[in-house]
Amino acid sequence: MMSVNSPSIEELSSLYMSQSPVSLTSVAMHAKPTTDYNQRQDTAEHGGNEACDYCCCDDKGCCSSAGWYAVLIGGAAVTCACCCYCTHGFNGVWTYWPF
Amino acid sequence: MKEHISVVIKPTLACDLDCRHCYHTPAERVPGTVSSDKLDRLFRMVAEEYESAWFIWHGGEPLTLPLRFYKDALALQERHFGKGSHRVGNTIQTNGTAIDRRFADFCRDKKVNLGISFEGPFNDALRQETDRVDRNLSYLSRKEHVFSVNPTVSAATVSKQREMYRHFRDRGIDVCFSPVLPMGCAAEDRSLVPDADEYIAESIRMFDEWLFDEEAEIPLIPHYLYLLNALGERVESDCAHSSCLGKWLCMHPDGSLYPCAKRCPEEFLMGDLDDIGRIGDAFASEGFRRILAGTVARREKCRSECDLYEYCTGECSINACYECGLESNGGDSCRIFREVFGHILGVCEGILRDRPDLSVYNKYVRDAVVGRLVNPLAEVTVPRG
């Protein structure tokens, strides 16, 4: 006969679960390998590249916030302007280059 | 995170009826509502510790509180679990007197399940306001709402179970039967508790009628769930026959916590919501240790003595407490399950052995048997002796 006062809650919980017929199912469910549902599913389409882990990118390779979008567009505009300036209007392609 | 918890919230113990078998005595059924701070704290802790949760609003009568209370409570849930989250669900257990069109629409929109404590034409044996509740049921439709009626069978209505079944069958309302338990008001008036032998005999007759009832458009609960288990599909038939300790929690309006919504003895008090930092603290309390220790001792005996243990898992600890002591079994609840389940197990074994024409059974039984034949999950064990 088991003494009611001696075992700890952890021991009692373990005994209780071992007495439960469905505990086998429960253990089996817990024993399954953990599935990462956020794992990148399109790795093959991207040449095997891993997901970008920079803070500016989300896990799909897009900008992680509106601010980073603004930085991207601004950066592209400034780069364009600099190239245009250095090449005097893309070597004459833009005939209205003022500088 | 832990997987799932069912939390019974008793937002008030006040009630507009005076049911003769109530878990709470008239002296306890006083006005007093759980505060929104307590609800906020409870929802936060549950959302942090569990992947999913089901909240059952019980009482007292939960619908003595205005609809605004439930709108605010569900808004609080959304704040902690997320809007439209599948992690959380709600059931309101009510006597049905306050159900109206607005409330029915709210339950439909928010996907709140309803359990209505009602005995149909025999409601007056335990409760009042029978005509009003019967009228209010018309606000609920099977297409738009998830609801069931939960008749409680007393000594006066023990022979009326089949009539109650037919009453709700004809209205297409799901029904779940249980007997009056000798606790709360019924502990002081034992004449309400049905004789176990009479309950068993009539419960089996009702099952047999449902079994061959081609018009049955409703599952008879808990018998149908017993049948699924007997056929090898392991579903939790009812809370009394599952390993509920650690998976259920009940909070009273003052924030006190118990392991069950039934009338829990004070020795099982698991503390106060305001005194714990997380739900796990309540399950580490001395009160929970007491019920767990007694239950383990009882189940050890059951497991060695009863061939139906794998189906009943040692019965309900609170029922055992009031019937023959926490560490003992063999009380009325135990006998009722043993006899009723044993009968259903025998019926299933006969069907699988004799392969009779299935068209004589109702559609629930036909589907369950065909499922068992197509996908045999486990051998059916026949009770010894």
Listing DSSP states for B216-248 in one string gives --S-EETHHHHHHHHTT------GGGS--TTTE
Q: At residue A57, what is the residue type?
A: C
Instruction: Determine whether the interchain pair A19/B300 forms a contact, defined as Cβ–Cβ distance below 8 Å.
Output: yes
Residues from B contacting A (CB-CB < 8 Å) are 234, 236, 242-243, 245-246, 283-284, 288-290, 292-297, 299-300, 303, 309-311, 313-314, 327
Nearest by CB to B293, from A4, A20, A25: name it.
A4
- Can you say how many angstroms the Cα of residue B217 is from the centroid of all Cα atoms in its chain? 21
Q: Which residue of A has its CA nearest to B295?
A: A16
Structure tokens at B173: 């309302």
CB distance B125 to B157 below 8 Å:
yes
Instruction: Determine whether the interchain pair B296/A19 forms a contact, defined as Cβ–Cβ distance below 8 Å.
Output: yes
CA of B191, closest CA in chain A: separation in Å? Answer: 33
CB distance B15 to B60 below 8 Å:
yes
Residues in chain B closer than 8 A to A7 (CB atoms): 293
Encode pLDDT of B45-96 as tens digits.
Answer: 999 999 999 999 998 999 999 999 999 999 999 999 998 899 999 999 999 9
Encode pLDDT of A11-24 as tens digits.
Answer: 999 999 888 875 44
Query: What's the pLDDT score for residue B259?
Result: 97
Q: At residue B62, what is the residue type?
A: P
Query: How far apart, in whole angstroms, are the C-alpha atoms of residue A20 and residue B169?
Result: 34
Q: ipTM value of the model? A: 0.86
Mean pLDDT of B258-268: 95
Mean pLDDT score of chain A, rounded to an integer?
75
> B172 or B381, which is more confident?
B172
Residue B9: which of B52, B102, B73 has the closest Cα? B73
> Quick count: other Cβ atoms within 10 Å of Cβ A61?
13
Instruction: Determine whether the interchain pair B295/A23 forms a contact, defined as Cβ–Cβ distance below 8 Å.
Output: no
Instruction: Determine whether the interchain pair A13/B246 forms a contact, defined as Cβ–Cβ distance below 8 Å.
Output: yes
Give the 3-state secondary structure of residue B268: helix
CA of B297, closest CA in chain A: separation in Å? Answer: 6
Q: What is this structure's pTM?
A: 0.80
Mean pLDDT score of chain B, rounded to an integer?
93
